[in-house]
Structure 1
Amino acid sequence: MLTLCPVCSHRLTITKLACDHCQTKIEGEFSPCKFCRLPNDQLQFLEAFLKCRGNIKDVEKELGISYPTVRNRLDGLLQALGYQVDKEENRQENLSRQEIVRALEKGEITPEQATQQLRKMKR
């Protein structure tokens, strides 16, 4: 569904609804649901996340992306839906040692973040 004006890029509102069966027409000013306003890439991520029943490991495999990338996209999706996300805290929680090393090698986290995460695991 088109959600942004092609001329000025502001959010569009729905002004008319029609039933193809009985020809009823309803006019007014309606807002699309918050899921309808998501861009295609976030909708595709959401579909993969739901298909995998929220299992981040399965989402990793389904989309061919790393754990931190899945978490970042999930955080972005939550923010787009209007939820507040503490990115720094959520992005690094519950990484295994192997995932921490992989994320560090790929430059997705800093050495300081890797050290901090490894220290948390020892507790």
Structure 2
Amino acid sequence: MKREVLGKCPVCGDELEVTRLGCHNCYTSIEGSFSLCKFCKLTDEQKNFVEVFIKNRGNIKEIEKELGISYPTVRNKLENVIESLGYSPKYNVPEVNKKEILERLNKGEISSEEAVKLLKGEE
């Protein structure tokens, strides 16, 4: 039975490194220091999400349906995977409450320029 390579140490959570490779056909063995691919470092939950994301061709509605989660949760899971792969998050601001922003604009509490910035998540 073949098992999947662990990406993180089960004791301390640090990245693991492969030190030995072996061929099951000719029994060749290679020792050294090999890094794991980025995807090996994802948790099982993240790998499952990536698989569902790819299977549904990135269609958020289909992902929501299959996983039984909301749009913000899909987006958060995607951002989490992006960060785990070593990329900086695009959306590092909390969800914007559009209705609240428009109400504040209507009451004159903020200017239209401020409202646009808030809706874009710039402030």
TM-score for both structures, normalised by structure 1: 0.71
Correspondence for 2:40 among 36, 41, 48:
36
Gaps of 5+ in 1: 92-108
Please give the root-mean-square deviation of Cα atoms over the aligned residues, in Å: 2.5
CA separation in 2, counterparts of 1:39 and 1:117?
39
Deviation of residue 117 (structure 1)? 8.0
1:79 and 2:121 aligned: no
* SS of residue matched to 1:16: strand
- Identify the residue that residue 53 of structure 2 maps to in structure 1: 49
**Larger gyration radius, structure 1 or structure 2:** 2
Q: How many residues align?
A: 101
TM-score when normalising by structure 2: 0.71
Letter in 1 for 2:57: R
Inter-CA distance 59–28: structure 2 relative to 1 (3 Å threshold): same
Any residues of structure 2 matched to 1:83-102 within 5 Å, and which? Answer: 83-88=87-92
Structure 2: which 5+ runs fail to align? 104-114
Match of 1:114 among 74, 98, 115: 98
The percentage of counterpart residues that share the same residue type is 48
